[in-house]
Homo-oligomer: A and B are copies of this chain.
Amino acid sequence: MNIISYPARETWDSLCRRPAFDHTDLDNVVASVFQKVKNEGDKALFELSEKYDGAVFKNLRVPGSAIESAIKSVPTDLREAISIAGDNIAKFHRAQLFDEDVVETTPGVKCWRKKVAIDSVGLYIPGGTAPLFSTVLMLAIPAAIAGCRRVIICTPPDRNGNVNPLILYAAHYAGVNELYRVGGAQAIAAMVFGTETIPKVDKIFGPGNQYVTRAKEMAQLEGTPIDMPAGPSEVLVIAGSDADPSFVAADLLSQAEHGSDSQVILLSDNNDLLESAMKETEKQARQLPRKNIALMSLENSRFILLRTLDECMEFSNIYAPEHLIISTSDPHLLADKVRNAGSVFIGRYSCESAGDYASGTNHTLPTGGFAKSMGGVSAESFVKKITFQEISGMGMKSIGPAIEKMADAELLQGHKNAVTLRLKTLKNG
Contact = CB atoms under 8 A, between A and B. Distances in A.
Interface of A: 23, 77-78, 80-82, 84-85, 87-88, 91-92, 95-96, 100-101, 103, 105-106, 109, 111, 113-114, 116, 118-119, 129-134, 166, 202-203, 217-218, 220-221, 223, 225, 229, 244, 246-247, 250-251, 253-258, 284, 288-290, 294, 331, 335, 338-362, 366, 368-376, 378, 380, 384-393, 395-396, 399-403, 405-407, 409-419, 421-422, 425
Residue of A246, A350, A359 ringed by the most chain B CB atoms within 10 A: A359
| Copies of this chain per assembly | 2
Given A78-B406, A414-B254, A220 B229 contact: yes
B349 A88 contact: no
B349 A413 contact: no
Nearest to A382: B373
B96 A387 contact: no
Contact of A414 (B253, B362, B415): B253
Nearest to A214: B221
A417 B284 CA distance: 9
B131 A410 contact: yes
A345 B250 CA distance: 55
B375 A344 contact: no
A112 to B, nearest CB: 9
Contact of A347 (B258, B331, B390): B390
A88 B81 CA distance: 49
A388 B325 CA distance: 10
Nearest to A371: B384
Contacts of A119: 339-340, 372
Nearest to A361: B387
B113 A402 contact: no
A384 B389 contact: no
Nearest to A289: B413
A402 B370 contact: no
B362 A387 contact: yes
Contact of A361 (B84, B111, B202, B331): B111
Contacts of A92: 103, 105, 111
B417 A254 contact: yes
Given A360-B111, A389-B345, A417-B253, A412 B354 contact: no
Contact of A344 (B386, B409, B417): B386
Nearest to A91: B105
A419 B391 CA distance: 56
A96 B113 contact: yes
27 contacts: A78-B406, A81-B401, A81-B403, A81-B405, A103-B360, A111-B359, A118-B373, A131-B410, A132-B410, A202-B372, A223-B370, A250-B421, A254-B415, A254-B417, A254-B418, A288-B413, A290-B414, A341-B386, A343-B386, A344-B386, A344-B387, A349-B422, A351-B422, A353-B407, A353-B416, A356-B403, A357-B415
